[in-house]
Copies of this chain bind each other. A is one copy, B any other.
Amino acid sequence: MLDDATARTAVTAAADRLFYARGVQSVGMDAVRAEAGVSLKRIYALYPSKEDLVVAVLAGRTQQWADGLDRWAAEADTPREQVLAVFDFLDAWFREDGFRGCAFINSFGELGATSPRVAEAVREHKESFRRYVEELVQEAGLPDAVALQVVLLAEGAQTTAAITRDADVARQARAAAEALIDAAVPA
């Protein structure tokens, strides 16, 4: 018997795998039950509706994303390198097996128009990413405008890597960010 906490993580982890691989709407709750090994009754006790489960999955991804960014930034030596570490993080991610683009962008495209809660979760995630980059940019003594430029390159790299299946875009996005940073500091 699983306590609620472990059942919760089993369900969200299973749902995350399935939703990310196939899209939310093409995964039935029964598939989540089979993947998680948790009965439907239990799942509905923990998450009253599929939408709740989707939101929980996205919340988990936001957490993982923040942790991953922190880990890569921590390995950078200089504040400038910390900003650029965003792209090293992306590079490693793009090369993972089963990379299928940004789960938030995918969910937004699929459900943003019909589920305000999902749309809001996506907005919050992107907002928190932007704030995170802003902090790094400020610590590096760069103008605020650089933060949004880095964000745009990172978002563009994610969708482009997903669609073209070319992981090298991370490196090229990094090079673009380097050029923008260099252009932003007074020579």
Q: Hey, which bits of chain A sit against chain B, CB under 8 A? A: 21-23, 25-26, 100-101, 104-114, 122-123, 126-127, 145, 148-149, 151-157, 159-160, 162-164, 169, 172-173, 175-176, 179-180, 182-184
Nearest-neighbour CB distance to chain B for A155, whole angstroms, equals: 4
Question: Taking the full assembly, how many copies of this chain does it contain?
Answer: 2
Question: Which one of B21, B149, B162, B184 lies within 8 Å of A172 (CB-CB)?
Answer: B149
Residues from chain B with a CB closer than 8 A to the CB of A126 are: 160, 163-164
Q: Is the CB of B110 within 8 A of A25?
A: yes
Residues from chain B with a CB closer than 8 A to the CB of A123 are: 163-164
> With A126-B160, A176-B180 known to touch, is A23 a contact of B111 (CB < 8 Å)?
yes
Question: Which one of B100, B145, B153 lies within 8 Å of A156 (CB-CB)?
Answer: B153
Q: Is the CB of B122 within 8 A of A148?
A: no
Q: Is the CB of B152 within 8 A of A169?
A: yes
Q: Is the CB of A176 within 8 A of B149?
A: yes
